[in-house]
Structure 1
Amino acid sequence: MLKHKILIFLALTVLFGIKNYAQGLLFHANDELISKRTAYTVFTEKPPRFDDSLKISFDLSVLDVNSFGYICYIQEPHSNDLYSLTLSNEGANVLFKLNIVGKQSLIQAPVNKNNLGFRRWQRLSLLFDSRAKRISLVVNRQAYHSKELLGGSSFFSPSIIFGKHDSYVDVPKIAIRDLKIEGSNKKIAFHFDENVGNVVHATDGKQYGYIENPDWLINDSYAWKLQCKKYLSKPAVVSFNVQDQSFIILDADSAFIFSLNQKNTSSVRYKDTWALETRLGNSFIDSQNHKLYVYEVNNLPVNSNSISALDLQTYQWQKISSRQLPQQHHHHSSFFDPSLKEFTLFGGFGNQRYFNSFETYDIRKDEWVTRKFSGDIIHPRFYSGQAQINSHQTILFGGIGNQSGDQTLGRNYSYDCYLVDYSRKTVKKLWEIPLSKTGLVTVRNMIQAENPDYFYTLCYPEYIPNTYLRLYKFSIKDGKYEILGDSIPFISERIESNANLYYNEQTHELFCTTQVFAPNGSSVVKIYSIASPPVAKEYISAANAHGLEMKKWIPWVLVPIVLLLIILFPTFRMKRKADKRKKQVMEKLKGLEQAPTLPMPNSLYVFGDFKVMDSHNRDIAHLFSPKVKQLFLYILFIGIENGEGVDSQEIHTAIWPDKTPENAKNLKGVALNQIRKILADMLGIQLVYKNGYFKFDLDDQFYFDYLDFMRLTNKSTAELIDEQTIQQIASITARGIFLKSVDFPPIVRIKLLLENKMRNIFMPALIQSYREHKYMLAIHLSKILNQIEENDEEAFRYEVESYLKLGIMDAARKRYNEFAGNPSLERPGNLPASFIEYVDNKTFRIK
């Protein structure tokens, strides 16, 4: 019943109008082919009549202050004059010029470039006043008037075109919104709240114009865009510099600066050495003193540098402190008071303990102090977040922990909210809600919303390695929330990895940064953006339907409501049937899912982790040292490959190439004896030396998953597309990647040969299954291919498309985010950053 009420509410929202959020139109400009540039004809039919005066006003955002082009053209049917409004680069300014094309310049209005940039809106108005006989251009309330008098008729029926027009193809990099055209007798307004198509509707729902090559800004309020991606040689440090409107990403010898206004990245080398061994990449910025602090609270050598500061004007490093806290504080939240030069962190996790203390570092005194707070108690936790709401107060939300702080007693997810006053040292609990049954955590840095009664944060299930972030908007008063925007892929495999949320007031954008750490100490930083205020998926869907001529319906509003209720009833029935069909599909998919083959006595497994089971069904893989394991696999696979085995010289060359023949011979003897001892308690496998070759004799008592896999796949494509065969193959590959973590060159060669051979077998079977609408089989063939060759993009595409064909949107989204967010992929086929972009863009879809 609740879902039905929500659907009715959304439908009525479409009927009676939609709130003007972040609508607008972005123009494809001179940096693209002429055929791809934007042209917007405001009135495609006969232009309306405007009496006495014509006022054209709109918000304008200039994305490239160095570009030149024509913003718009105005032409009257009773005049031969074509007016143009142009944008050009004039030193420190951008110049707006109103011209009579081919004749003269009427008005020039300069605007300083520092005031311009993406989503930094300027209000422009063009006024043609027939009574005063005057033409005016108003830029941000500054009026400029033409010395030439306006002649002609007392009314206007203008043709108005923005962007490309006939032979005038120079289009500047701009965006417009909130267009109004009015005279004394009428006013027509355009909010550009469409998100697809080429037709433009006024706020009354009537269709007026047409756009060639549009880029609807409302999509920027739903889909997160990947703006920057950096691979770093050490643990990532990323901070938001409010003053310079940039993100600063620190690497070993340079700082990368991503400008939010220009959307580009530059680099600056440090003047000296960065003497801090970063582990977690924690940082904060003191904007008043232009310093970026990087800190580690624990797990460093005694007396080593724990806090350093980078001067953002000179890019010189300064050692601040070598003091550490007694224990690590993973995923703490924090607050910086620039007036007191105090940095306070709350909570965290380390040494099997959850914390709820407020630990303050006093920069002036170079000391850590535990601050005591009165009021409500916040239980020990990590993964909490804080949003600063004024100079001394924050909202603290969420976390994982328990009342005792002892990790061994288990953990609970908390969805509670507190007001923390750092000046009075008080804590007040505001609310607690049951947000999720499965578990969600918040990012460390949260943001107060445009409406100060709310805050934004990103939440995600941190226990899922290939997870996703979703934007939540919470009421500070009572915890009511809504989920906004699309999801962001995120790898949370390692506890060091984290994400944060920031807001750029000048461009009205929210930014998400993700820091993903690799075992070798390297890292990946990604920066995503979404226009603010962000919108929910329901709003996008409603915007699609906004082309209805709503004002015509208002006198008969009761009729649509009745019709709506009549329409919704069968819709609800259809939805129930669709849900039932989806459940049946999911059950059938689950039926095809195969658990890994259960280990059996006398067996060897090389799909997934290396596993060897003796005759008592005990895993004895730990008995194989690295060199013994290399020798074992080398003799086994080469023997299978050539049928003979390997001789001593081949073993020496492959396993001990850097040893003398005598040393290699001795090491080989020791390793072979070790293999014989390990295999002594196994049946069906025996190391033999025959005709100068070492090889393994195998019989039916011994099971080897690789041989079973080869037997099952030695079939034609038609035979392979068989449910029973696929189930058997899936039960083998479900264990994991073939020869996972094996980097021994002779075996890697075999691994690559198998990958190529199997792809030539499985890919045709996958494509045939998909074309024959056997989507469930196609999904499982895709999974098998990804177990043979990790990150197979073609197999991934067929898997996502099969989910979409079956109507399982959640599974398609999850798989897409797993693949697109994998940090090991340098360039995953130029895939869109978000799932919704992929679905909407036919270029990337399988035909």
Structure 2
Amino acid sequence: MRLINCLILLLFFVPDLMADHGIYFKSNEVTKENRTGIDITHNGNISYITDFTIHFKLSFRESETHYGEILSLKENQSKNLIQVTYRKPDIFVIHNKRTTKFHLNLEDEKIKNNRWIDFEIHIDAVNDKINLLFEDKKLESDISFPQNSDFALSLGVVNKYGFFIDEVPSISVKDISVRIDGAPRHLWPLKKTNNSLVKDVLSSKSAKVFNPDWVVDYHNEWVKIKSLNFPTLPSLLYDKEKELINFIFMDGSIQSFNPLNKTLSKLKEEVKGFPCFEKAQQIIYDKNGNISTYSFNKNLISTLDTNTNTWSRNVESSVHDAPRFWHHNKLLHPETGKITTIGGYGYYSYFNDILSFDTEQNSWNKIEFSGDTIQPRYLASLGKSEKNPNTVFLFGGLGNSMGKQILGKEFYYDLYKIDFEKKKIKHLWDYECDEQFQFLPINSMKLNASDSSFYTLMFPSTKQNTYLRAIKGFVHEPRIVFIGDSIPYNFLDIESFADLYYWNSENKLIAITSHQTEDETHEVNIYTISYEPGNKDDFNINGVGLPMPVKIFYTILAVVLVLFVALIVRKIRKEKEKKNKSEYKVYTSPDIFEAPISDYEIPKNNAIIMFGGFQVFDEKAKDITYRFSPTLKELFLLILLNTINEGKGISSKRIQEYLWPDKSESKAKNNRGVNIKKLRGILEDLPGTEIIFDNNYWKITLPENIFCDLDYVQKGIKSIREQGKIENLAEIIIILQRGAMLRDIFPEWLDSFKDFNTGMIVGTLEEIIKDSKTDKVIALAISNVIFEFDQMNETALKTKCCLLATQGKHSLAIETFEHYRKLYLKFYNEEYQYSFKDIVSKEIS
């Protein structure tokens, strides 16, 4: 019954807490009568007995407002008055018109604009205490508050409860909640509505809003902040540190646009010398932070010395010098710091070369990568991983497999992972879509570490007067979602350019478009949107909804269907397990095993399971995996895998790099301490398992009574490779039959562990099935295991097809071969060179 209640609550309330929402408070940019306020208790005060808590998400923005009231609370019985007041850059808590020790400086707390932070006030009337939570900071003080009373509550400009308020700071607020006597009683997500009332999703109590601006609109609507016109083609370069958009021209001059105050300025000093580039946006900040321009045709780099305002080249580039690589992607090589480019189009050809410029030899050198091959293309989108500085992702583009324009165009909707440290390219996925879906991405993308997603802009390329729309893609699955409204875009192929920048201080995206006009001048348009962009269709749920009886009916129906499907799936799994168990009993090998393979059962008490998916069982065989949040799971695996693989564990610095790269050292330390404490609490259910800090490294000790399948497999394979002992081969096969290692977890740092263990497992099993003395039933089981880890393994294909054929199971053998052949064609874009007859007639080697 508890499960059904939770499902009902989720079905009702999750939509209210999805996506971005909240109210953007109008401040002194408007007249006093048009400023924003929220009257929480417009239809009656809120009663409490012993204590209450008020919590909401708060966001500040840049403005000229230096003063205003955030929150006002008036208790009824003893006439207590609490006000939270902003006076730039400080926040004060006022009690009965006297200041308290609750004083916070936003600059000292390093609170950035346009980020949601937690704000909470807790009044304990029993112990006469007031507690304040502001982001990570907690404060406590004494206060005299009566029990068994009630209070009125408002935010912003509300003149109703005996105090006059007409100033509100430039803030946004969402998810206002009230807990009464320890229990959640009210929650106002502040979803957009067409009237003045907003819903309380936990009760029937509504709040009244005055003059609201809705946060959702700022996440769905691009705002054009400037249109500029230049007589000659500008090359665009975004300065992340100063947050300026620089325009560099062939004559060496530079102009800078400030998106905050929307002003365009020129360098006051005269610039000497010239940049060197063609007309293909060949400009970048070098490893020393200097503006560098590069030429493919001249094999040159010209860098600006900001101390003397002098370019390092004395000869001006020619506007008639045609680029070799239009719409290529560029970056600094993560390890060498050299200017590096990917792909591009020129001279009727598409390219997939990754080139790096050698300043000593003045030459472009091709970097060779192992792994998958990127098809020749241009107009692709490139983004740098937020978790691994050596990794970039390349999405989409236009080209063809032969690289020749005369052979036609192919639209690519694929994602590649390029690892510069390992010099390896990995094809992650293809997005399947209709042939009429002819969209192309812009030059850059923004990676989002929190949910392994990315943002870029795409446009339909079939016409000149087109538009750009933001998309959200996902690193680990082939899914693309269009979000927000559109931006006008004049696409003239090589004469147009668009890019995307992240404006860190304002937490916004900047989109910029550039194209040549009919009078041969160049128009540049600049747009912004709040980060992260949201889907307009997901919002506005405060409008007319279904009647409550209908909601209840559909909710119960949905719950029944969920439970019904769960029962069917459970029954199917049991039948399958029963069938598999009966089949495995036949697969015996008296030369190696005294009992059937299926006699071994993977331990389910005091066990840590990694193959086939992450699971943890306590000493009573209870599955406690649910207790590991995503962060706890990742932290646990980081320490455990580094303990198992290298023995010494992992340092605090490396943990911060992987889990909290955007946090300061102090905040990362605090996060680590909190999560280590939680992990230790969970591991108490695995007797003897401890997290220790030894010689500056975090380790996990696993006593003999704790079973870890990865540790068991690694030791078993080591014994096979070094001593030829295969006594535990049956157990290893049964463990590996569950599937690939941690296939339900995808952080980038985990790839190296997966690759190492996959290579070790597949290499060892290949050697075993190549041995003619290996039992044929065991060999067949091993071939199936290899396919779990490497679906394109040719040794496993030969083994399985030959064994099935010799057993008279020709249809299964052919089915196995055909499945392999189709995968081969999909992955390599060419037919598999051998026929089924070739495979079964070849001697297994």
State the TM bucket, normalised to the shorter chain.
Answer: 0.5 to 0.7
Change beyond 3 A, Cα 1:150–1:453: closer
Question: Is the partner of 1:219 in helix, strand or coil?
Answer: helix
Give, in whole Å, the separation in 2 of the partners of 1:123 and 1:525: 39
Matched, 1:183 2:176: no
Change beyond 3 A, Cα 1:50–1:524: farther
Pick aligned residue for 2:157 from 145, 159, 164: 164
Post-superposition shift, 1:30?
A: 1.0
**Alignment gaps of 5+ in structure 1:** 1-11, 563-847
Per-residue CA shift, 1:117-166, capped at 9, x if unaligned? 431333322232212223343323334455xx533421442211111132
In structure 2, the residue matched to 1:687 is none
Preserved contact between residue 50 and residue 186 of structure 1 (Cα < 8 Å) = no
Matched, 1:525 2:524: yes
Give, in whole Å, the separation in 1 of the partners of 2:27 and 2:468: 33
Amino acid across the alignment from 2:26: H
Amino acid across the alignment from 2:28: N
Write the mapping of 1:486-525 to structure 2, written as runs, cut at 5 A. 486-493=485-492, 495-504=494-503, 507-518=506-517, 522-525=521-524
Preserved contact between residue 279 and residue 323 of structure 2 (Cα < 8 Å) = no
In structure 2, the residue matched to 1:150 is 143
In structure 2, the residue matched to 1:110 is 105
Write the mapping of 1:669-818 to structure 2, written as runs, cut at 5 A. none
Pick aligned residue for 1:386 from 359, 382, 385: 382
Pick aligned residue for 2:28 from 23, 27, 30: 30
Preserved contact between residue 335 and residue 420 of structure 2 (Cα < 8 Å) = no
Matched, 1:332 2:328: yes
Matched, 1:130 2:125: yes
Matched, 1:356 2:355: no
Question: Is the partner of 2:495 in helix, strand or coil?
Answer: coil
In structure 1, the residue matched to 2:766 is none
RCO higher in 1 or 2 (8 Å CA, sep ≥ 6)? 1
Give, in whole Å, the separation in 2 of the partners of 1:459 and 1:411: 17
Amino acid across the alignment from 2:84: L
What is the RMSD computed on CA atoms of the aligned residues? 3.7
Amino acid across the alignment from 2:537: E
Per-residue CA shift, 1:214-264, capped at 9, x if unaligned? 1111222222222443333432333333334454445774532435xx565
Change beyond 3 A, Cα 1:506–1:14: farther
Give, in whole Å, the separation in 2 of the partners of 1:236 and 1:199: 49
Write the mapping of 1:325-724 to structure 2, written as runs, cut at 5 A. 327-337=323-333, 339-363=335-359, 366-389=362-385, 390-438=388-436, 439-451=438-450, 453-493=452-492, 495-504=494-503, 507-518=506-517, 522-540=521-539, 543-545=541-543, 557-558=555-556
In structure 1, the residue matched to 2:217 is 219
Give, in whole Å, the separation in 2 of the partners of 1:134 and 1:371: 65
Q: Indicate the percent of aligned positions where both proteins have the same amino acid.
A: 22
Preserved contact between residue 463 and residue 492 of structure 1 (Cα < 8 Å) = no
Change beyond 3 A, Cα 1:447–1:435: farther
Preserved contact between residue 248 and residue 258 of structure 1 (Cα < 8 Å) = no
Change beyond 3 A, Cα 1:388–1:117: closer
Give, in whole Å, the separation in 1 of the partners of 2:79 and 2:451: 53
Give, in whole Å, the separation in 2 of the partners of 1:533 and 1:517: 31
Pick aligned residue for 1:99 from 87, 94, 103: 94
Preserved contact between residue 282 and residue 295 of structure 1 (Cα < 8 Å) = no
Post-superposition shift, 1:75?
A: 0.8
Change beyond 3 A, Cα 1:517–1:15: same
Give, in whole Å, the separation in 2 of the partners of 1:114 and 1:310: 37
Write the mapping of 1:821-840 to structure 2, written as runs, cut at 5 A. none
Preserved contact between residue 386 and residue 396 of structure 1 (Cα < 8 Å) = yes
Question: Is the partner of 1:340 in helix, strand or coil?
Answer: coil
Preserved contact between residue 22 and residue 190 of structure 2 (Cα < 8 Å) = yes
Per-residue CA shift, 1:189-237, capped at 9, x if unaligned? 2322325443222343745201111111122222222244333343233
In structure 1, the residue matched to 2:256 is 256
Change beyond 3 A, Cα 1:205–1:242: farther
Preserved contact between residue 288 and residue 338 of structure 1 (Cα < 8 Å) = no
**Residue range with higher mean Cα deviation, 377-386 or 199-208:** 199-208
Question: Is the partner of 1:35 in helix, strand or coil?
Answer: helix
Pick aligned residue for 2:19 from 21, 34, 57: 21
Preserved contact between residue 281 and residue 295 of structure 1 (Cα < 8 Å) = no
Post-superposition shift, 1:514?
A: 1.6
Post-superposition shift, 1:74?
A: 0.8
Preserved contact between residue 282 and residue 294 of structure 2 (Cα < 8 Å) = yes
Preserved contact between residue 21 and residue 533 of structure 1 (Cα < 8 Å) = no
TM-score normalised by the chain length of structure 2: 0.57
Per-residue CA shift, 1:69-93, capped at 9, x if unaligned? 111211122234433211113xxxx
In structure 2, the residue matched to 1:777 is none
Per-residue CA shift, 1:727-765, capped at 9, x if unaligned? xxxxxxxxxxxxxxxxxxxxxxxxxxxxxxxxxxxxxxx
Change beyond 3 A, Cα 1:127–1:424: closer
Preserved contact between residue 235 and residue 279 of structure 1 (Cα < 8 Å) = no
Give, in whole Å, the separation in 2 of the partners of 1:363 and 1:321: 17
Per-residue CA shift, 1:356-392, capped at 9, x if unaligned? 2222223565432223334433332221222222322
Amino acid across the alignment from 1:161: S
Give, in whole Å, the separation in 2 of the partners of 1:190 and 1:159: 16
Preserved contact between residue 473 and residue 482 of structure 1 (Cα < 8 Å) = yes
Pick aligned residue for 2:136 from 134, 137, 141: 141
Give, in whole Å, the separation in 2 of the partners of 1:59 and 1:231: 41
Question: Is the partner of 1:331 in helix, strand or coil?
Answer: coil
Question: Is the partner of 2:216 in helix, strand or coil?
Answer: helix
Give, in whole Å, the separation in 2 of the partners of 1:169 and 1:86: 12
Preserved contact between residue 64 and residue 174 of structure 1 (Cα < 8 Å) = no
Change beyond 3 A, Cα 1:232–1:144: farther
Amino acid across the alignment from 2:513: T
Give, in whole Å, the separation in 2 of the partners of 1:501 and 1:296: 23
Post-superposition shift, 1:440?
A: 1.5
Amino acid across the alignment from 1:183: I
Give, in whole Å, the separation in 1 of the partners of 2:71 and 2:488: 40
Per-residue CA shift, 1:428-476, capped at 9, x if unaligned? 3333333342322111212223445433322112341110112222333
Give, in whole Å, the separation in 2 of the partners of 1:420 and 1:284: 21
Change beyond 3 A, Cα 1:285–1:202: farther
Amino acid across the alignment from 1:163: G
Change beyond 3 A, Cα 1:46–1:320: farther
Give, in whole Å, the separation in 1 of the partners of 2:112 and 2:549: 36
Preserved contact between residue 383 and residue 445 of structure 2 (Cα < 8 Å) = yes
Change beyond 3 A, Cα 1:158–1:255: farther
Question: Is the partner of 2:539 in helix, strand or coil?
Answer: helix
Amino acid across the alignment from 1:49: S
Preserved contact between residue 22 and residue 189 of structure 2 (Cα < 8 Å) = yes
Question: Is the partner of 2:481 in helix, strand or coil?
Answer: strand
Change beyond 3 A, Cα 1:101–1:133: closer
Change beyond 3 A, Cα 1:222–1:206: farther
**Alignment gaps of 5+ in structure 2:** 1-9, 561-845
